[in-house]
Amino acid sequence: MSKLDRLINKHGLAQILEMPTPLARAVFGEAPVNDLGAPLDYQTHMFLQVKEKVEPTELPEMPLAKAREVYDDFTYSLSPDARVAASKDVRIQTRAGTLHASVHRPGPGNLPALVFFHGGGFVVGSAAGYDPICRYVAAKSGCVVINVDYRLAPEHPFPCGIEDAIDAFLWVHKHADELNIDRNRIAVGGDSAGAKLSTVCCQQLLLADQPLPAFQMLLYPTTRHGVKSESSRLFAKGYFLTGYTMDWFGDTYLAGYDHDEDIRVSPFYFERKGELPPMLMMTGGFDPLRDAGDEYAELCAAAGCDVIHRREDTQIHGFWTMGGAIKVARKATDDAIAILRRRLAANL
């Protein structure tokens, strides 16, 4: 049994991540440096090695039910959490039926809101797994957070998730008075697949001349399908989200639909970027999706969209749901929440 195996058996993840630096370096070695010259955050470096020992099997190699369980356990256990004034479940009526969503309210009054879409490659992930981070966002931002349980592939492939995201936003907008939220201050946001749903939702609403969100909070989205970038090559293995898993997500979600330049598949190609709602784009320096997200933000800004672009150079994909254990991830999460709070407060 290796030294790391003994540590994992004796201590929990939280204790391992708090090890004194000299001892940690003796066990885990030096952190890698990316093409930007930034070292991987050391706690994240430790976490990746522990994860490889505890759960080396990738999601595509698991039965689907097991993959969903593992992903939900991960997001639920590692996300930061906070108490809110009230939480309740609601049913959202859509063109396809009924969706479940959890609503987290930080306090009284007619508040701004965030319609949130979870990550998981359109195949795994759930509102239940993301409830801790959504409570945290509500408590820290002063926004009511509506955490939507949209449909997943393979049971419900493309474009079901997109339809759900659009319908969920329009339902919240229509029922703003009942939810006691400010109809003029409703943002959309999410991480990874949920961030893609958020920006595609904005694009499709704009094309349909429907009410638009006041803000979009995009956390390391996938914006361009089928195009390999430098970051997708550099970080295809060993940095949490792998190329193997991304291919599985794409194949499962698209189910043979091969129109990579469809803006619902690749929002990168949307032509009216300057008309989109204000945007926060947050990417990670060790994320295979980094380059496409960075370029999308830059193109949107060049077209005239109001863009705040933050790249967390020392972080991997998925850091938004790791802030309960990793300090730098928590700081990045708090920064995103502070931006959301300021922007919705300003949009009166």
Which residues are designated catalytic? 192, 287, 317
The DSSP code sequence of 193-209 is HHHHHHHHHHHHHHHTT
Greatest extent of the chain over all pairs of C-alpha atoms, in Å: 62
Read off φ and ψ for residue 275, nearest 5 degrees: -95, 0
Of 110, 101, 94, give the one whose Cα is nearest residue 166.
Answer: 94
Distances, alpha carbon 324 to alpha carbons 47, 165, 309, 316, in Å: 12, 27, 24, 15
CB atoms within 10 A of CB 60: 18
Encode 123-138: b = buried (16+ Cβ within 10 Å), e = exposed: bbbbbebbbbbbbbbb
The DSSP code sequence of 247-279 is HHHHHHHHTT---TT-TTT-GGG-S-GGGSPPE
Angle between helices 327-346 and 127-141 (to 10 degrees): 60
* Contacts of 226 by beta carbon, 8 Å cutoff, 6+ apart: 250, 260, 266
Chain-centre distance for alpha carbon 325: 17
Taking CA 130 as the corner, what is the angle to CA 244 and CA 291, rounded to the nearest 5 degrees?
45
Whether the Cβ atoms of residue 340 and residue 143 lie closer than 8 Å to each other = yes
d(CA 320, CA 338): 14
Tokens encoding 273: 């970027």
